Structure 1
Amino acid sequence: MSDFPSLGITGVTGAIGGEVARLLSRDGLPLVLLARNPAKAPELPRAVVRPADYGDRMLCERSLEGVETVFMVSGHESETRMEEHRSFIDAAVAAEVRHIVYTSLMGAAPDATFTLARDHFATEEYIKDAGLSYTFLRDCLYSDFLESMVGDDGVIRGPAGTGAVAVVAHADVAECAAAVLRNAAAHSGVTYTLTGPEALTMSQIAHIISEVRGSQVTFHDETIPEAYDSRKKWPAPDWQYDAWVSTYTAIAAGEMATVTEDVEDLTGHRARSLRDVLRGE
Protein backbone atom coordinates (compact mmCIF):
# COMPACT_ATOMS: atom_id res chain seq x y z
CA MET A 1 0.00 0.00 0.00
CA SER A 2 1.43 3.36 -1.00
CA ASP A 3 2.05 5.99 1.65
CA PHE A 4 1.43 8.75 -0.88
CA PRO A 5 -2.04 10.19 -0.24
CA SER A 6 -3.90 10.30 -3.55
CA LEU A 7 -7.34 10.55 -1.93
CA GLY A 8 -8.59 13.99 -0.90
CA ILE A 9 -11.52 14.68 1.42
CA THR A 10 -13.22 18.08 1.72
CA GLY A 11 -15.65 19.11 4.43
CA VAL A 12 -13.58 17.31 7.07
CA THR A 13 -14.71 19.66 9.84
CA GLY A 14 -18.36 18.82 9.10
CA ALA A 15 -20.60 15.86 9.88
CA ILE A 16 -20.31 13.99 6.58
CA GLY A 17 -16.80 14.84 5.39
CA GLY A 18 -15.40 14.25 8.86
CA GLU A 19 -17.03 10.83 9.17
CA VAL A 20 -15.89 9.83 5.67
CA ALA A 21 -12.33 10.73 6.65
CA ARG A 22 -12.56 8.71 9.86
CA LEU A 23 -14.00 5.67 8.08
CA LEU A 24 -11.25 5.66 5.45
CA SER A 25 -8.57 6.32 8.03
CA ARG A 26 -9.68 3.19 9.90
CA ASP A 27 -8.97 1.29 6.67
CA GLY A 28 -5.39 2.52 6.85
CA LEU A 29 -5.68 4.69 3.75
CA PRO A 30 -3.41 7.74 3.43
CA LEU A 31 -5.53 10.87 3.06
CA VAL A 32 -5.32 14.55 2.21
CA LEU A 33 -7.73 16.41 4.50
CA LEU A 34 -8.84 19.63 2.82
CA ALA A 35 -10.17 22.21 5.25
CA ARG A 36 -11.10 25.88 5.16
CA ASN A 37 -9.73 26.03 8.71
CA PRO A 38 -6.94 23.43 8.96
CA ALA A 39 -6.67 23.90 12.73
CA LYS A 40 -10.12 22.34 13.11
CA ALA A 41 -9.39 19.28 10.94
CA PRO A 42 -9.49 15.92 12.73
CA GLU A 43 -6.16 14.37 13.70
CA LEU A 44 -6.00 11.05 11.89
CA PRO A 45 -3.16 8.62 11.24
CA ARG A 46 -1.58 8.74 7.78
CA ALA A 47 -3.41 11.97 6.98
CA VAL A 48 -2.00 15.32 5.93
CA VAL A 49 -4.00 18.51 6.31
CA ARG A 50 -4.02 21.20 3.62
CA PRO A 51 -5.96 24.47 3.38
CA ALA A 52 -8.80 24.68 0.88
CA ASP A 53 -11.30 27.44 0.26
CA TYR A 54 -13.55 26.70 -2.72
CA GLY A 55 -13.46 30.34 -3.78
CA ASP A 56 -9.66 30.43 -3.90
CA ARG A 57 -8.76 28.54 -7.04
CA MET A 58 -4.98 28.85 -6.77
CA LEU A 59 -4.97 27.71 -3.15
CA CYS A 60 -7.11 24.68 -4.01
CA GLU A 61 -4.93 23.83 -6.99
CA ARG A 62 -1.86 23.74 -4.77
CA SER A 63 -3.62 21.72 -2.07
CA LEU A 64 -4.92 19.19 -4.60
CA GLU A 65 -1.44 18.43 -5.92
CA GLY A 66 -1.00 14.64 -6.13
CA VAL A 67 -4.67 13.94 -5.40
CA GLU A 68 -6.26 11.57 -7.90
CA THR A 69 -9.73 11.24 -6.37
CA VAL A 70 -11.48 13.91 -4.30
CA PHE A 71 -14.63 13.80 -2.21
CA MET A 72 -16.31 17.15 -2.83
CA VAL A 73 -18.87 18.09 -0.19
CA SER A 74 -21.14 20.80 -1.57
CA GLY A 75 -20.33 24.27 -0.26
CA HIS A 76 -22.31 26.26 2.29
CA GLU A 77 -25.53 27.82 1.00
CA SER A 78 -24.74 31.27 -0.33
CA GLU A 79 -25.28 33.50 -3.34
CA THR A 80 -21.77 32.66 -4.52
CA ARG A 81 -21.90 28.88 -4.02
CA MET A 82 -22.00 28.09 -7.75
CA GLU A 83 -19.01 30.35 -8.41
CA GLU A 84 -17.13 28.63 -5.59
CA HIS A 85 -18.02 25.18 -6.93
CA ARG A 86 -16.79 26.12 -10.40
CA SER A 87 -13.58 27.52 -8.90
CA PHE A 88 -12.87 24.28 -7.02
CA ILE A 89 -13.65 22.10 -10.04
CA ASP A 90 -11.36 24.22 -12.23
CA ALA A 91 -8.64 23.80 -9.59
CA ALA A 92 -9.17 20.03 -9.64
CA VAL A 93 -8.76 19.95 -13.41
CA ALA A 94 -5.59 22.07 -13.24
CA ALA A 95 -4.18 19.80 -10.50
CA GLU A 96 -4.90 16.74 -12.69
CA VAL A 97 -7.47 15.21 -10.35
CA ARG A 98 -9.06 12.29 -12.16
CA HIS A 99 -12.28 11.60 -10.26
CA ILE A 100 -14.73 13.69 -8.20
CA VAL A 101 -17.29 12.17 -5.86
CA TYR A 102 -19.82 14.96 -5.29
CA THR A 103 -22.58 15.27 -2.69
CA SER A 104 -25.53 16.38 -4.76
CA LEU A 105 -29.24 16.49 -3.95
CA MET A 106 -32.17 14.22 -4.70
CA GLY A 107 -34.21 15.59 -7.58
CA ALA A 108 -31.37 17.73 -8.93
CA ALA A 109 -32.68 19.23 -12.17
CA PRO A 110 -32.71 22.61 -13.93
CA ASP A 111 -36.43 22.98 -13.15
CA ALA A 112 -36.50 21.43 -9.67
CA THR A 113 -39.04 22.89 -7.26
CA PHE A 114 -36.41 23.08 -4.51
CA THR A 115 -34.30 25.99 -5.69
CA LEU A 116 -31.02 24.64 -4.30
CA ALA A 117 -31.47 21.42 -6.29
CA ARG A 118 -30.97 23.52 -9.43
CA ASP A 119 -27.53 24.57 -8.20
CA HIS A 120 -26.62 20.95 -7.56
CA PHE A 121 -27.65 20.00 -11.09
CA ALA A 122 -25.56 22.86 -12.50
CA THR A 123 -22.58 21.62 -10.48
CA GLU A 124 -23.04 18.08 -11.79
CA GLU A 125 -23.09 19.40 -15.35
CA TYR A 126 -19.98 21.49 -14.77
CA ILE A 127 -18.11 18.43 -13.50
CA LYS A 128 -19.18 16.45 -16.57
CA ASP A 129 -18.23 19.28 -18.94
CA ALA A 130 -14.81 19.48 -17.28
CA GLY A 131 -14.11 15.96 -18.52
CA LEU A 132 -13.61 14.48 -15.07
CA SER A 133 -14.61 10.99 -14.06
CA TYR A 134 -17.38 11.36 -11.49
CA THR A 135 -19.77 9.76 -9.06
CA PHE A 136 -22.77 11.73 -7.80
CA LEU A 137 -24.41 11.01 -4.47
CA ARG A 138 -27.84 12.61 -4.64
CA ASP A 139 -28.87 12.81 -1.00
CA CYS A 140 -32.44 13.24 0.17
CA LEU A 141 -33.04 15.68 3.03
CA TYR A 142 -31.10 14.70 6.14
CA SER A 143 -33.02 13.05 8.95
CA ASP A 144 -30.49 14.52 11.41
CA PHE A 145 -31.78 17.98 10.46
CA LEU A 146 -35.49 17.46 11.09
CA GLU A 147 -35.60 18.37 14.77
CA SER A 148 -34.20 21.80 13.94
CA MET A 149 -37.34 22.40 11.87
CA VAL A 150 -39.46 22.29 15.03
CA GLY A 151 -40.28 25.74 16.34
CA ASP A 152 -40.07 26.80 19.98
CA ASP A 153 -43.81 26.11 20.21
CA GLY A 154 -43.37 22.50 19.11
CA VAL A 155 -44.74 23.08 15.60
CA ILE A 156 -43.18 22.31 12.22
CA ARG A 157 -44.50 24.88 9.76
CA GLY A 158 -44.31 24.75 5.98
CA PRO A 159 -46.33 24.23 2.79
CA ALA A 160 -45.59 20.49 2.44
CA GLY A 161 -49.20 19.31 2.32
CA THR A 162 -49.48 15.53 2.39
CA GLY A 163 -46.28 15.06 0.41
CA ALA A 164 -43.68 12.62 1.70
CA VAL A 165 -39.90 12.73 1.98
CA ALA A 166 -37.50 9.76 2.18
CA VAL A 167 -35.07 11.37 4.64
CA VAL A 168 -31.59 9.87 4.90
CA ALA A 169 -29.10 9.75 7.79
CA HIS A 170 -25.76 11.56 7.75
CA ALA A 171 -24.12 8.31 8.85
CA ASP A 172 -25.52 6.40 5.88
CA VAL A 173 -24.39 9.05 3.41
CA ALA A 174 -20.89 8.95 4.91
CA GLU A 175 -20.74 5.15 4.70
CA CYS A 176 -21.90 5.25 1.07
CA ALA A 177 -19.29 7.86 0.20
CA ALA A 178 -16.56 5.82 1.87
CA ALA A 179 -17.67 2.71 -0.01
CA VAL A 180 -17.42 4.57 -3.32
CA LEU A 181 -14.07 6.18 -2.49
CA ARG A 182 -12.45 2.85 -1.65
CA ASN A 183 -12.74 1.96 -5.34
CA ALA A 184 -13.89 5.05 -7.22
CA ALA A 185 -13.17 3.58 -10.65
CA ALA A 186 -15.86 0.94 -10.08
CA HIS A 187 -18.43 3.72 -9.64
CA SER A 188 -17.35 6.00 -12.47
CA GLY A 189 -20.23 7.72 -14.24
CA VAL A 190 -22.78 6.47 -11.70
CA THR A 191 -25.40 8.57 -9.90
CA TYR A 192 -26.76 7.16 -6.63
CA THR A 193 -29.87 8.46 -4.92
CA LEU A 194 -29.46 8.04 -1.17
CA THR A 195 -32.62 7.75 0.90
CA GLY A 196 -33.92 6.30 4.11
CA PRO A 197 -36.05 3.13 4.25
CA GLU A 198 -39.42 4.92 3.99
CA ALA A 199 -41.07 8.10 2.79
CA LEU A 200 -42.75 10.09 5.56
CA THR A 201 -45.20 12.98 5.52
CA MET A 202 -44.42 15.94 7.74
CA SER A 203 -47.28 14.89 10.02
CA GLN A 204 -45.70 11.45 10.38
CA ILE A 205 -42.32 13.05 11.06
CA ALA A 206 -43.86 15.21 13.80
CA HIS A 207 -45.48 12.10 15.31
CA ILE A 208 -42.21 10.15 15.33
CA ILE A 209 -40.31 13.02 16.96
CA SER A 210 -43.08 13.27 19.57
CA GLU A 211 -42.97 9.54 20.22
CA VAL A 212 -39.19 9.30 20.59
CA ARG A 213 -38.65 12.56 22.51
CA GLY A 214 -41.76 12.32 24.67
CA SER A 215 -42.88 15.85 23.85
CA GLN A 216 -45.71 17.10 21.68
CA VAL A 217 -44.69 18.05 18.13
CA THR A 218 -47.23 18.82 15.41
CA PHE A 219 -47.21 19.90 11.78
CA HIS A 220 -48.99 22.98 10.45
CA ASP A 221 -49.46 23.05 6.67
CA GLU A 222 -48.90 26.68 5.77
CA THR A 223 -49.95 28.33 2.55
CA ILE A 224 -47.04 29.61 0.49
CA PRO A 225 -47.72 33.27 1.42
CA GLU A 226 -47.93 32.24 5.10
CA ALA A 227 -44.61 30.43 4.78
CA TYR A 228 -42.82 33.48 3.41
CA ASP A 229 -44.41 35.71 6.02
CA SER A 230 -43.55 33.46 8.97
CA ARG A 231 -39.90 33.38 7.93
CA LYS A 232 -39.56 37.15 7.72
CA LYS A 233 -38.65 37.19 11.42
CA TRP A 234 -35.21 35.97 10.28
CA PRO A 235 -33.46 38.65 8.17
CA ALA A 236 -32.27 36.98 4.97
CA PRO A 237 -31.86 37.65 1.24
CA ASP A 238 -34.69 36.68 -1.10
CA TRP A 239 -32.86 33.62 -2.46
CA GLN A 240 -32.67 32.22 1.09
CA TYR A 241 -36.40 32.66 1.69
CA ASP A 242 -37.03 30.91 -1.63
CA ALA A 243 -34.82 28.01 -0.55
CA TRP A 244 -36.46 27.68 2.86
CA VAL A 245 -39.99 27.66 1.44
CA SER A 246 -39.23 25.49 -1.57
CA THR A 247 -37.86 22.78 0.74
CA TYR A 248 -41.50 22.20 1.68
CA THR A 249 -43.08 22.81 -1.73
CA ALA A 250 -40.70 20.21 -3.23
CA ILE A 251 -42.02 17.72 -0.67
CA ALA A 252 -45.60 18.70 -1.55
CA ALA A 253 -44.78 18.15 -5.24
CA GLY A 254 -43.59 14.60 -4.54
CA GLU A 255 -40.02 15.28 -5.67
CA MET A 256 -38.42 13.73 -2.57
CA ALA A 257 -40.67 10.74 -1.98
CA THR A 258 -38.88 8.00 -3.92
CA VAL A 259 -37.27 5.31 -1.77
CA THR A 260 -34.21 3.57 -3.22
CA GLU A 261 -32.05 0.61 -2.20
CA ASP A 262 -28.80 2.46 -2.97
CA VAL A 263 -27.77 2.81 0.69
CA GLU A 264 -28.17 -0.90 1.29
CA ASP A 265 -26.46 -1.78 -2.00
CA LEU A 266 -23.42 0.33 -1.12
CA THR A 267 -23.15 -0.38 2.62
CA GLY A 268 -24.59 -3.87 2.96
CA HIS A 269 -27.09 -2.82 5.62
CA ARG A 270 -30.60 -1.37 5.66
CA ALA A 271 -30.78 2.41 5.67
CA ARG A 272 -31.31 3.98 9.07
CA SER A 273 -34.83 5.16 9.82
CA LEU A 274 -35.77 8.48 11.42
CA ARG A 275 -36.40 6.61 14.67
CA ASP A 276 -32.89 5.10 14.45
CA VAL A 277 -31.34 8.53 14.04
CA LEU A 278 -33.32 10.10 16.88
CA ARG A 279 -32.29 7.23 19.14
CA GLY A 280 -28.65 7.55 18.12
CA GLU A 281 -28.56 4.09 16.53
Structure 2
Amino acid sequence: MIIVTGATGQLGRQIVERLLTRVPADRIGVSVRDPGKARAFADQGVRVRRGDFADPATLAHAFEGATQVLVVSIDRFGADAVGQHRAAIDAAVAAGARRVLYTSHMGASASSHFQACRDHAATEEALRGCGVPYTALRNGFYAASALRFFDQGRHGDQLALPADGPVSWTFHEDLAEAAAAVLADEGRFDGPTPPLTAGRAFTFDDLARVAGEVTGRAVTRVAVPDDRFQEQLTEHGVPAEYARHLIDIFLAARAGEFAAVDPALGTLLGREPISLESALRKHLT
Protein backbone atom coordinates (compact mmCIF):
# COMPACT_ATOMS: atom_id res chain seq x y z
CA MET A 1 0.00 0.00 0.00
CA ILE A 2 1.18 3.52 -0.84
CA ILE A 3 0.78 5.87 2.11
CA VAL A 4 0.68 9.65 1.61
CA THR A 5 0.93 11.91 4.64
CA GLY A 6 -0.55 15.39 4.90
CA ALA A 7 -3.26 14.45 2.40
CA THR A 8 -5.56 17.32 3.36
CA GLY A 9 -2.89 19.97 2.66
CA GLN A 10 -2.45 21.84 -0.59
CA LEU A 11 0.21 19.54 -2.03
CA GLY A 12 -0.72 16.24 -0.38
CA ARG A 13 -4.35 16.46 -1.45
CA GLN A 14 -3.40 17.00 -5.07
CA ILE A 15 -0.89 14.14 -4.97
CA VAL A 16 -3.59 11.72 -3.82
CA GLU A 17 -6.05 13.02 -6.43
CA ARG A 18 -3.54 12.35 -9.19
CA LEU A 19 -2.42 9.05 -7.71
CA LEU A 20 -6.03 7.85 -7.92
CA THR A 21 -5.82 8.16 -11.71
CA ARG A 22 -2.84 5.76 -11.74
CA VAL A 23 -3.37 3.30 -8.88
CA PRO A 24 -6.52 1.53 -7.57
CA ALA A 25 -7.97 3.27 -4.53
CA ASP A 26 -7.57 0.19 -2.34
CA ARG A 27 -3.79 0.43 -2.80
CA ILE A 28 -3.68 3.97 -1.39
CA GLY A 29 -3.76 5.06 2.23
CA VAL A 30 -3.55 8.53 3.73
CA SER A 31 -2.20 9.63 7.08
CA VAL A 32 -3.86 12.83 8.29
CA ARG A 33 -4.23 14.64 11.58
CA ASP A 34 -8.01 15.00 11.12
CA PRO A 35 -9.58 12.05 9.27
CA GLY A 36 -12.85 13.94 8.98
CA LYS A 37 -11.23 16.31 6.50
CA ALA A 38 -10.32 13.36 4.26
CA ARG A 39 -13.87 12.02 3.96
CA ALA A 40 -13.89 12.58 0.19
CA PHE A 41 -10.96 10.18 -0.17
CA ALA A 42 -12.58 7.60 2.11
CA ASP A 43 -15.70 7.75 -0.05
CA GLN A 44 -13.54 6.77 -3.05
CA GLY A 45 -12.12 3.73 -1.28
CA VAL A 46 -8.87 5.22 0.03
CA ARG A 47 -7.85 4.04 3.49
CA VAL A 48 -7.92 7.02 5.86
CA ARG A 49 -6.20 6.85 9.24
CA ARG A 50 -5.11 9.39 11.80
CA GLY A 51 -1.39 10.04 11.90
CA ASP A 52 0.42 12.97 13.45
CA PHE A 53 4.18 13.47 13.18
CA ALA A 54 4.07 15.25 16.55
CA ASP A 55 2.51 12.12 18.09
CA PRO A 56 4.68 9.29 16.70
CA ALA A 57 2.62 6.63 18.47
CA THR A 58 -0.18 7.29 15.95
CA LEU A 59 2.04 6.55 12.95
CA ALA A 60 2.35 2.78 13.44
CA HIS A 61 -1.38 2.36 12.77
CA ALA A 62 -1.42 5.01 10.01
CA PHE A 63 1.48 3.34 8.16
CA GLU A 64 0.43 -0.28 8.71
CA GLY A 65 0.96 -2.40 5.59
CA ALA A 66 2.93 0.29 3.76
CA THR A 67 5.09 -0.60 0.79
CA GLN A 68 5.96 3.06 0.15
CA VAL A 69 5.45 6.10 2.38
CA LEU A 70 5.54 9.63 1.02
CA VAL A 71 6.40 12.03 3.84
CA VAL A 72 5.05 15.44 2.84
CA SER A 73 7.15 18.06 4.61
CA ILE A 74 5.44 20.17 7.25
CA ASP A 75 5.14 23.95 7.24
CA ARG A 76 7.45 24.61 10.18
CA PHE A 77 11.07 25.60 10.60
CA GLY A 78 14.09 24.41 12.52
CA ALA A 79 14.56 21.52 14.92
CA ASP A 80 10.81 20.99 15.32
CA ALA A 81 10.36 20.36 11.59
CA VAL A 82 13.39 18.09 11.27
CA GLY A 83 12.43 16.13 14.38
CA GLN A 84 8.92 15.49 13.10
CA HIS A 85 10.21 14.47 9.67
CA ARG A 86 12.62 12.03 11.32
CA ALA A 87 9.77 10.57 13.39
CA ALA A 88 7.79 9.93 10.20
CA ILE A 89 10.79 8.34 8.45
CA ASP A 90 11.48 6.06 11.43
CA ALA A 91 7.82 5.04 11.58
CA ALA A 92 7.77 4.24 7.86
CA VAL A 93 10.81 1.98 8.22
CA ALA A 94 9.34 0.32 11.33
CA ALA A 95 6.11 -0.35 9.40
CA GLY A 96 8.09 -2.31 6.80
CA ALA A 97 8.00 0.19 3.94
CA ARG A 98 10.48 -0.79 1.25
CA ARG A 99 10.88 2.85 0.11
CA VAL A 100 10.49 6.20 1.87
CA LEU A 101 9.87 9.32 -0.21
CA TYR A 102 10.02 12.92 0.96
CA THR A 103 9.00 16.27 -0.52
CA SER A 104 12.31 18.11 -0.34
CA HIS A 105 13.41 21.29 -2.11
CA MET A 106 15.67 22.17 -5.02
CA GLY A 107 17.71 24.40 -2.69
CA ALA A 108 18.27 21.78 0.02
CA SER A 109 21.67 22.53 1.54
CA ALA A 110 23.16 22.81 5.00
CA SER A 111 24.65 26.17 3.94
CA SER A 112 21.47 27.69 2.47
CA HIS A 113 20.44 31.20 3.46
CA PHE A 114 16.87 29.88 3.90
CA GLN A 115 16.07 27.91 7.05
CA ALA A 116 13.59 25.61 5.29
CA CYS A 117 16.29 24.47 2.86
CA ARG A 118 18.65 23.72 5.74
CA ASP A 119 15.82 21.69 7.30
CA HIS A 120 15.32 19.79 4.05
CA ALA A 121 19.05 19.01 3.94
CA ALA A 122 18.92 17.65 7.50
CA THR A 123 15.89 15.52 6.63
CA GLU A 124 17.66 14.17 3.54
CA GLU A 125 20.57 13.20 5.80
CA ALA A 126 18.11 11.23 7.95
CA LEU A 127 16.78 9.54 4.81
CA ARG A 128 20.28 8.53 3.74
CA GLY A 129 20.75 6.75 7.04
CA CYS A 130 17.29 5.19 7.38
CA GLY A 131 18.32 1.77 6.08
CA VAL A 132 15.88 1.42 3.15
CA PRO A 133 15.86 2.92 -0.36
CA TYR A 134 14.62 6.49 -0.46
CA THR A 135 13.64 9.23 -2.88
CA ALA A 136 13.92 12.94 -2.12
CA LEU A 137 11.67 14.91 -4.47
CA ARG A 138 13.60 18.17 -4.86
CA ASN A 139 10.67 20.39 -5.71
CA GLY A 140 11.04 23.79 -7.32
CA PHE A 141 10.02 26.80 -5.26
CA TYR A 142 6.24 26.96 -5.03
CA ALA A 143 4.82 29.50 -7.46
CA ALA A 144 2.02 30.32 -5.02
CA SER A 145 4.66 32.16 -2.96
CA ALA A 146 5.62 34.30 -5.95
CA LEU A 147 2.02 35.34 -6.48
CA ARG A 148 1.63 36.19 -2.79
CA PHE A 149 4.84 38.26 -2.82
CA PHE A 150 3.63 39.99 -5.97
CA ASP A 151 0.35 40.93 -4.31
CA GLN A 152 2.14 42.09 -1.13
CA GLY A 153 4.63 44.23 -3.07
CA ARG A 154 2.44 45.78 -5.72
CA HIS A 155 1.19 49.28 -5.02
CA GLY A 156 -0.43 50.81 -8.08
CA ASP A 157 2.27 50.98 -10.74
CA GLN A 158 5.13 49.95 -8.43
CA LEU A 159 6.36 46.52 -7.41
CA ALA A 160 8.22 47.17 -4.16
CA LEU A 161 10.04 44.09 -2.81
CA PRO A 162 13.54 43.29 -1.57
CA ALA A 163 16.25 42.71 -4.18
CA ASP A 164 16.00 39.19 -5.54
CA GLY A 165 17.48 36.81 -8.12
CA PRO A 166 16.06 34.37 -10.65
CA VAL A 167 13.78 31.68 -9.20
CA SER A 168 12.31 28.73 -11.10
CA TRP A 169 8.85 29.13 -9.56
CA THR A 170 6.92 25.85 -9.96
CA PHE A 171 3.26 25.03 -9.48
CA HIS A 172 1.74 22.64 -6.94
CA GLU A 173 -0.34 21.03 -9.69
CA ASP A 174 2.75 19.98 -11.65
CA LEU A 175 4.68 18.81 -8.59
CA ALA A 176 1.70 16.76 -7.39
CA GLU A 177 1.40 15.06 -10.77
CA ALA A 178 5.12 14.32 -10.77
CA ALA A 179 4.99 12.85 -7.26
CA ALA A 180 2.11 10.59 -8.29
CA ALA A 181 4.09 9.42 -11.32
CA VAL A 182 7.10 8.58 -9.17
CA LEU A 183 4.97 6.72 -6.61
CA ALA A 184 3.24 4.71 -9.32
CA ASP A 185 6.60 3.79 -10.88
CA GLU A 186 8.39 2.63 -7.75
CA GLY A 187 12.15 3.04 -7.88
CA ARG A 188 12.18 5.53 -10.73
CA PHE A 189 14.53 7.71 -8.69
CA ASP A 190 16.92 6.57 -5.98
CA GLY A 191 18.14 9.33 -3.69
CA PRO A 192 17.56 12.99 -4.56
CA THR A 193 15.85 13.74 -7.85
CA PRO A 194 17.15 16.43 -10.20
CA PRO A 195 15.54 19.82 -9.47
CA LEU A 196 11.85 19.47 -10.36
CA THR A 197 11.32 22.91 -11.84
CA ALA A 198 9.36 24.86 -14.38
CA GLY A 199 11.05 25.66 -17.68
CA ARG A 200 12.27 29.16 -16.84
CA ALA A 201 13.49 31.16 -13.85
CA PHE A 202 11.99 34.61 -13.27
CA THR A 203 13.05 37.66 -11.29
CA PHE A 204 10.54 40.16 -10.00
CA ASP A 205 11.88 42.54 -12.65
CA ASP A 206 10.57 40.00 -15.17
CA LEU A 207 7.21 39.86 -13.42
CA ALA A 208 6.94 43.66 -13.32
CA ARG A 209 7.43 43.65 -17.08
CA VAL A 210 4.66 41.05 -17.51
CA ALA A 211 2.36 43.07 -15.27
CA GLY A 212 2.99 46.14 -17.40
CA GLU A 213 2.17 44.24 -20.57
CA VAL A 214 -1.07 42.90 -19.09
CA THR A 215 -2.29 46.16 -17.55
CA GLY A 216 -1.03 48.47 -20.29
CA ARG A 217 0.73 50.62 -17.67
CA ALA A 218 4.43 50.59 -16.89
CA VAL A 219 5.08 48.80 -13.58
CA THR A 220 8.30 49.96 -11.93
CA ARG A 221 10.31 47.46 -9.90
CA VAL A 222 11.56 49.11 -6.68
CA ALA A 223 14.07 47.39 -4.38
CA VAL A 224 12.99 47.81 -0.74
CA PRO A 225 15.64 47.32 2.00
CA ASP A 226 15.24 43.94 3.68
CA ASP A 227 14.65 45.40 7.14
CA ARG A 228 11.99 47.80 5.86
CA PHE A 229 10.09 45.04 4.07
CA GLN A 230 10.27 42.88 7.19
CA GLU A 231 8.78 45.78 9.18
CA GLN A 232 6.00 46.12 6.63
CA LEU A 233 5.19 42.43 6.94
CA THR A 234 4.96 42.59 10.73
CA GLU A 235 2.87 45.77 10.51
CA HIS A 236 0.39 43.74 8.45
CA GLY A 237 0.20 41.00 11.07
CA VAL A 238 2.87 38.55 9.90
CA PRO A 239 4.60 37.05 12.98
CA ALA A 240 8.13 38.45 13.35
CA GLU A 241 9.89 35.07 13.11
CA TYR A 242 7.95 34.10 9.97
CA ALA A 243 8.67 37.52 8.42
CA ARG A 244 12.40 36.95 8.98
CA HIS A 245 12.19 33.59 7.21
CA LEU A 246 10.46 35.28 4.27
CA ILE A 247 13.32 37.77 3.98
CA ASP A 248 15.72 34.83 3.88
CA ILE A 249 14.02 33.70 0.65
CA PHE A 250 15.21 36.90 -1.00
CA LEU A 251 18.72 36.45 0.43
CA ALA A 252 18.85 32.93 -0.99
CA ALA A 253 17.47 34.08 -4.35
CA ARG A 254 20.16 36.77 -4.57
CA ALA A 255 22.74 34.04 -3.98
CA GLY A 256 21.34 32.05 -6.91
CA GLU A 257 20.08 29.16 -4.79
CA PHE A 258 16.79 28.81 -6.69
CA ALA A 259 17.92 29.67 -10.22
CA ALA A 260 18.43 26.14 -11.58
CA VAL A 261 16.17 24.93 -14.38
CA ASP A 262 16.01 21.25 -15.26
CA PRO A 263 13.96 19.22 -17.77
CA ALA A 264 13.20 16.40 -15.28
CA LEU A 265 9.76 17.72 -14.30
CA GLY A 266 8.65 18.13 -17.91
CA THR A 267 9.85 14.58 -18.63
CA LEU A 268 7.78 13.21 -15.75
CA LEU A 269 4.72 15.16 -16.86
CA GLY A 270 5.10 14.42 -20.56
CA ARG A 271 4.46 18.10 -21.25
CA GLU A 272 5.81 21.54 -20.49
CA PRO A 273 5.28 22.61 -16.86
CA ILE A 274 2.95 25.52 -16.17
CA SER A 275 4.69 28.86 -16.76
CA LEU A 276 4.61 31.49 -14.04
CA GLU A 277 4.34 34.12 -16.76
CA SER A 278 1.13 32.62 -18.14
CA ALA A 279 -0.27 32.17 -14.62
CA LEU A 280 0.49 35.78 -13.71
CA ARG A 281 -1.28 36.98 -16.84
CA LYS A 282 -4.39 35.09 -15.72
CA HIS A 283 -3.93 36.36 -12.15
CA LEU A 284 -4.00 39.98 -13.33
CA THR A 285 -7.01 39.69 -15.66
Q: With the length of structure 1 as denominator, give the TM-score of the two structures.
A: 0.88
Shift of 1:272: 1.1
Cα offsets for 1:199-243 (capped at 9, x unmatched)? 1111212333555578886543222332333333235253x2331
1:254 to 253, 256, 266: 256
Q: 1:241 & 1:213 partners in 2: Cα distance? A: 29
CA RMSD of aligned residues (A): 2.3
For the residue of structure 2 that corresponds to 1:81, the secondary structure is helix
Match of 1:106 in 2: 106
Match of 2:61 in 1: 62
Q: 1:67 & 1:13 partners in 2: Cα distance? A: 19
Equivalences for 1:1-281 in 2 at 5 Å?
A: 6-29=1-24, 30-41=27-38, 43-44=40-41, 45-79=44-78, 80-149=80-149, 150-151=151-152, 153=155, 156-161=159-164, 163-209=165-211, 211-212=213-214, 219-233=221-235, 234=237, 236-238=239-241, 240-278=242-280, 279=282
Q: Is 2:77–2:119's contact at 8 Å kept on the other side of the alignment?
A: no
Q: Is 2:19–2:180's contact at 8 Å kept on the other side of the alignment?
A: yes
Q: Is 1:13–1:42's contact at 8 Å kept on the other side of the alignment?
A: no
For the residue of structure 2 that corresponds to 1:164, the secondary structure is coil
Q: 1:38 & 1:216 partners in 2: Cα distance? A: 49
Cα offsets for 1:32-89 (capped at 9, x unmatched)? 0111111111524231101111111110122101011012110122452122112111
Q: 2:23 & 2:238 partners in 1: Cα distance? A: 46
Q: How many residues align?
A: 273
Distance 1:219 1:102, change over 3 A: farther
Match of 1:3 in 2: none
For the residue of structure 1 that corresponds to 2:89, the secondary structure is helix
For the residue of structure 2 that corresponds to 1:220, the secondary structure is strand
Residue type of the partner of 2:162? Answer: P
Structure 1: which 5+ residue stretches go unaligned?
1-5
Shift of 1:145: 2.8
For the residue of structure 2 that corresponds to 1:61, the secondary structure is helix
Distance 1:95 1:273, change over 3 A: same
Q: Is 2:49–2:61's contact at 8 Å kept on the other side of the alignment?
A: no
Structure 2: which 5+ residue stretches go unaligned?
none
Shift of 1:157: 4.2
Bigger Cα displacement from structure 2, 186-195 vs 254-263: 186-195
Q: Is 1:143–1:277's contact at 8 Å kept on the other side of the alignment?
A: no
Residue type of the partner of 1:180? Answer: V
Q: Is 2:23–2:184's contact at 8 Å kept on the other side of the alignment?
A: no
Q: 2:71 & 2:131 partners in 1: Cα distance? A: 16
Residue type of the partner of 1:274? Answer: L
Q: Is 1:33–1:50's contact at 8 Å kept on the other side of the alignment?
A: yes
Distance 1:214 1:55, change over 3 A: farther
Q: 1:109 & 1:24 partners in 2: Cα distance? A: 29
Q: Is 2:85–2:123's contact at 8 Å kept on the other side of the alignment?
A: yes
Q: 2:20 & 2:219 partners in 1: Cα distance? A: 39
Cα offsets for 1:234-255 (capped at 9, x unmatched)? 35253x2331101111111111
Q: Is 2:11–2:172's contact at 8 Å kept on the other side of the alignment?
A: yes
Q: With the length of structure 2 as denominator, give the TM-score of the two structures.
A: 0.87
Q: 2:215 & 2:126 partners in 1: Cα distance? A: 43
Q: 1:99 & 1:76 partners in 2: Cα distance? A: 23
